[in-house]
Amino acid sequence: MKIFLIGYMGCGKTSLGRKLAHATGLRFVDMDAAIEEREGASVADIFRYEGEEYFRSRERRLIDELAASEEDMIVSTGGGAPVWRDNMERMNEAGVTVYLRRTPEQIASRLSPHGRRKRPKLRDLDDEELIAFMTANMAEREPFYSRARLCVDCAKRSDAELIETVLSTIRGDE
């Protein structure tokens, strides 16, 4: 089984993905990190020098590779991956998609200064601009994110509770 964690940048896909992988014994794949390793450049630099279209094509190539693999795994996607072309449908066909839903305010409070700098679209925004940008951008992405097999409201839930919710849903307990 493949579990694709989706949601807005900074919502906790990577940190929860690592914990979920640890809890299940499955391999963890962080798509952004895998692309950075393959390209020899940060996501920010890929966006800057090659463009978003190039980056998204690399994401899709990786989704196809992961989907074709026989191995069970936990995959943390980039925040924009579900929005590009038919990526959401591809991930839904290949496994279980889990949308980690948080508000812009919750995400902003989670982002460190380093977290902002490494995200090209957030780099130069002050706090007010950040919330306004995320609110608008998340509204555009919501129709894609909401196609996930499981939508989880992360507010007021610990990582342990989130892991149990995901696992019990996949097992069919819920």
Q: Structural domain boundaries of the chain? A: 2-166
Single-letter amino acid code for the residue at 89:
E
pLDDT digits (tens, 9 = 90+) for 150-160: 999 998 899 99
Cα–Cα distance measured from residue 5 to residue 163, given in angstroms and rounded to the nearest whole number: 12
State which H helix or E strand residue 155 sits in. Answer: none
pLDDT digits (tens, 9 = 90+) for 33-74: 999 999 999 998 999 999 999 999 999 999 999 999 999 999
Residues 13-39 have a mean pLDDT of 97
Write the CATH number of the domain with boundaries 2-166.
3.40.50.300
62 and 34 Cβ atoms separated by less than 8 Å:
yes
Mean per-residue pLDDT of the chain: 93
The dihedral region occupied by 126, where left means phi > 0, alpha psi between -120 and 50, and beta the remainder, is beta
pTM over 0.85: yes
Please, which pLDDT band fits residue 174 given cuts at 50, 70 and 90? low
**Rg of the Cα trace of the chain?**
15
pLDDT tops 80 at residue 32: yes
pLDDT tops 80 at residue 118: no
Residues 12-37 have a mean pLDDT of 97
